[in-house]
Amino acid sequence: MLDDLYAGAVADAAARRESLPFAAVEAAALSRDPALDARAALAPADRVKVIAEVKRASPSRGHLSTIADPASLALSYAAGGASAISVLTEGRKFKGSLADLEAVRAAVDVPVLRKDFIADAYQVFEARAAGADLVLLIVAGLEQRRLVELHDLVRQLGMTALIEAHSADEVSRGLDAGATVLGVNARDLTTFELDRDLFGRLSGSIPAGVTRVAESAVSSPDDVAHYRRSGADVVLVGEALVTHGDPADAITRFLEV
């Protein structure tokens, strides 16, 4: 599944490059106002922080929510106290787009994450051109040299990388690449099975000074409390918010943990 997601994302980026060449995307990225300081926004604090996700669908659950107005949803997230907004921009399985990211960026004043299957420089420049402050880099999908190259480019453009790991080896690789914000995803992207305790087993190997993000398997305040006890500085929440009747209230309850 992960290989298919990367292949599709790279193919779609290549198609966009046909109509918008690399030089044009690079120029658009460099002409944006500076990215917001996402690392500071997500820095460890005396209470957990939330990255709230705009997510229409997923390969594991199928359709989640129509989300006709991603900007309005993002505003409700910010009103509830989200420290950052994650936007799925992958179109084939998650039904997202860069237009969603642009709409969210124009609506909110908190950092915005491009969540996609990033494998080349063109996609990183696209992220900045669309207004992203954070870019997801998945260790499992990248050779180490490419991971380091993309992480360096993200930083050169003034953004922050959320480096995502699923094992002790991937945590080590992420740290070797220079991660300052490191996520542990409870969902295995090869089998799509969930393991809520994975974060707790790996968090001890993430040193002080690196922001620890728990991803997936967050549906209730109890889940947030579980991750907080295991050392999470931030939780990333998608499905539980897009299917909730009052996402701002849900975030408020998560933040009360």
Q: Which of 58, 83, 86, 185 is catalytic?
A: 185
Tokens 């953004």: give the residue. Answer: 159
Q: Which of 49, 55, 93, 95 is catalytic?
A: 55
Q: Which of 126, 164, 170, 239 is catalytic?
A: 164
The answer to whether residue 164 is catalytic is yes
The answer to whether residue 31 is catalytic is no
Q: Which long-range contacts (CB under 8 A, 24 or more apart) does 226-233 make?
A: 226/196, 227/48, 227/199, 228/48, 228/257, 230/197, 230/199, 230/200, 230/203, 231/199, 231/200, 231/203, 231/204, 231/206, 232/48, 232/199, 232/203, 233/42, 233/43, 233/44, 233/45, 233/48, 233/49
Q: Which of 115, 126, 203, 230 is catalytic?
A: 115
The answer to whether residue 55 is catalytic is yes
The answer to whether residue 65 is catalytic is no
Secondary structure percentages of the chain, helix, strand, coil, to 5 = 45, 20, 35
The letter for the amino acid at 203 is S
Query: What tokens appear for 144 in the block?
Result: 């180490």
The answer to whether residue 53 is catalytic is yes
Q: Which of 53, 102, 126, 239 is catalytic?
A: 53
Is residue 153 within 8 A of residue 181, CB to CB? The reply is no
The letter for the amino acid at 190 is T
Q: Which of 170, 215, 230, 239 is catalytic?
A: 215
Is residue 199 within 8 A of residue 230, CB to CB? The reply is yes
Q: Which of 58, 83, 86, 216 is catalytic?
A: 216
The answer to whether residue 143 is catalytic is no
The answer to whether residue 102 is catalytic is no
Residues with catalytic roles: 53, 55, 115, 164, 185, 215-216
